[in-house]
Amino acid sequence: MNQAALAGILAREQQAFAATRPKSRGLARRASAHFPHGVPMHWMRDWGTAFPLFVREAQGAELLDVDGHRYVDFCLGDTGAMFGHSPAPIAQAIAAQAGRGLTCMLPAEDTAAVGEGLAELFGLPWWQLTQTATDANRAVLKLAREVTGRSRILVFNHCYHGTVEETMVVRGPDGATLPRPGQVGRVQDFARSTVVVEFNDLDALTAALAPGDIACVLAEPAMTNAGMVLPQSGFLAALREACTRSGTLLAVDETHTLSAGRGGYARAAGIAADLLVCGKAIAGGLPCAVYGYGEAVAERLPASESRREPGHSGLGTTLSANPLALAALRASLAQLMTAENHAYMDRQAGHLAAALTAAFTARALPWRVARIGARLEFGRGAAPRNASEALAWIDQPLQAAMHLFLLNRGFLLTPFHNMMLVSPATTFDHLERFLAVFDETLDEFAPLMRAP
């Protein structure tokens, strides 16, 4: 099969998509009068369809579009709905709170219970809430700079921690820090603020931390945003050790790796973070994120408070930690992020990963599956050591065509990558139906998947 054949499949699938979704097409046309490309947030155009799919309802692991098509959803809002769409405990908590106050710039009654729950779950004593993981990461970087008196941070190449400008960087060929391409209206001098090294490169990390001028390393414990890159044996422990040695704080972003199990990836790996961020699914899909810190930060805060002149801290937003978010977070802590739910998700995702691996092996396709608990990703080539290697294997046109093929047959995958999430609402039947259609997908695409 060649590129012309791929273009042929894509054209056929685009036509099938458009022909069977007149209501989505109509809504797209109408919404385009006031929303560029008809969407209220521009990432919603990234699905590779001729016009966006409009959603009528999302429930559990399924989604219903306005034309009446039902999908099994393995994207799950790119993690926000990792515990299922509108889980009953969250819907009930929101409904109970909705008539009792939505925002009031005072702590809601649920606050103390939420603090206790977060401390127990993640093992850090001190917490604050934000609306998004982006905002939580921004706050964590500011805090780290404040207490260390150092201005630079370190991130791993091709990381993603939200739209925090100083983390939207890549490593240039000579090791220089370059802005990630495509950013709108950027102002940062990235080389001054940020050092970038490859994930799993302990020598480069140690050398970068050695001068003792890095406030914090901000890292996903396993990378999930440029293909899935798992830490090599001993890397996370060595990272922790290198941070401690150089007086650098370790900030762990568990926003995606919460899929690993109760309390996230780092905790399961026995790595103690100084600062921790988690967003997206943390409150069952309601906009909310959290950041926490331990004694390495807390013990230095009084001194920094006494140094700081009076005025706005530059942290926080008006609607953060509103009563609705606290109610949802409390319900999520008690009823969603449970050992039982994680065990179920892990089992289901394990079954899916094994079946995908078997399907690749049966056809002698050079593809593999990586998994972090409930989250898995399939891709071509050997397991990558870093995101540069992961990205080198990704074939965007092929990926887009496979996703559209699956979408037309009732299965949603995350548009940005071959990532699949399994929720507590994902049944064995969902998985079996997907695997049958995935077999058809391989019938169609195997020749291209084999190409170098």
Ligand X SMILES: Cc1ncc(COP(=O)(O)O)c(C=O)c1O
Which residues of this protein are in contact with ligand X, per CB under 6 A? Answer: 132-134, 137, 160-162, 220, 225, 253, 255-256, 279-280
**Least distance CB 291 / ligand X (angstroms):** 11
Q: Of 26 and 179, which CB lies nearer to ligand X in the complex structure? A: 179
Min CB(136)–ligand X separation in Å: 8
Beta bridge partners of 217: 154, 250
- Shortest distance in whole angstroms from residue 290 CB to ligand X: 12
Q: Which residue number, 84 or 221, has a Cβ lying nearer to ligand X? A: 221
Query: Percent helix, strand and coil across the chain, each rounded to 5?
Result: 45, 15, 35
How far is it, in rounded angstroms, from Cα 47 to Cα 389? 24
Return d(Cα 211, Cα 58) in angstroms, integer.
51
Q: What region does 262 belong to: left with phi over 0, alpha with psi -120 to 50, or beta?
A: beta
Residue 394's SS3 state is coil
Cβ proximity to ligand X: between 92 and 188 the closer is 188
Distances (CA, A) of 424 to 61, 82, 110: 8, 8, 25
Nearer to ligand X, 19 or 41 (CB): 41
Let me know the angle formed at the C-alpha of 23 by 21 and 29, rounded to the nearest 5 degrees. 105
Supply the DSSP symbol for 229.
B
1: three-class secondary structure by DSSP: coil
Instruction: Using the minimum distance from each CB to ligand X, give the nearer residue, 137 or 348.
Output: 137
Neighbour tally for 353: CB within 10 Å: 19
3-class state of residue 249 by DSSP: strand
CA–CA dist 137, 132 (Å, integer)? 9
Q: Which lies closer to ligand X via its Cβ, residue 24 or residue 132? A: 132
Distance between CA atoms of 151 and 199, rounded to whole angstroms?
Answer: 22
Cβ pair 218, 257 in contact under 8 A:
no
Q: Identify the H or E element spanning 9.
A: helix 3-19
Burial 9-27 (b: 16+ CB within 10 A, else e): bbeebbeebeeebeebbeb
Q: Which is nearer to ligand X, 161 or 262 (CB)?
A: 161
Nearest distance from C-beta of residue 257 to ligand X, angstroms:
8
Query: Shortest approach of ligand X to residue 249 CB, angstroms?
Result: 17
H/E run at residue 58: strand 55-59
Question: Would you say 24 or 157 has its CB closer to ligand X?
Answer: 157
Task: Compute the least distance from the CB of residue 366 to ligand X, in Å.
Answer: 27
Residues with Cβ within 8 Å of 47's Cβ and at least 6 positions away in sequence, in order, are: 53, 403, 407, 415
Query: In the complex with ligand X, which residue's Cβ is closer, 133 or 229?
Result: 133
Nearer Cβ to ligand X, position 279 or 284? 279
- Residues in the chain, how many? 452
CB of 451 to ligand X, least distance (A): 30
Nearer to ligand X, 280 or 409 (CB): 280
3-state secondary structure of 72: strand
Which ranges of 78-189 would DSSP assign to H, the alpha helix?
Answer: 88-98, 111-122, 133-148
Least distance to ligand X from the beta carbon of 278, Å? 9
CB of 432 to ligand X, least distance (A): 29
Which element (helix H / strand E) includes 109? none
Minimum gap (Å) between residue 162 Cβ and ligand X: 3
Give the CA diameter of the chain: 68
CB of 222 to ligand X, least distance (A): 10
What residues are paired with 62 via a beta bridge? 59, 72
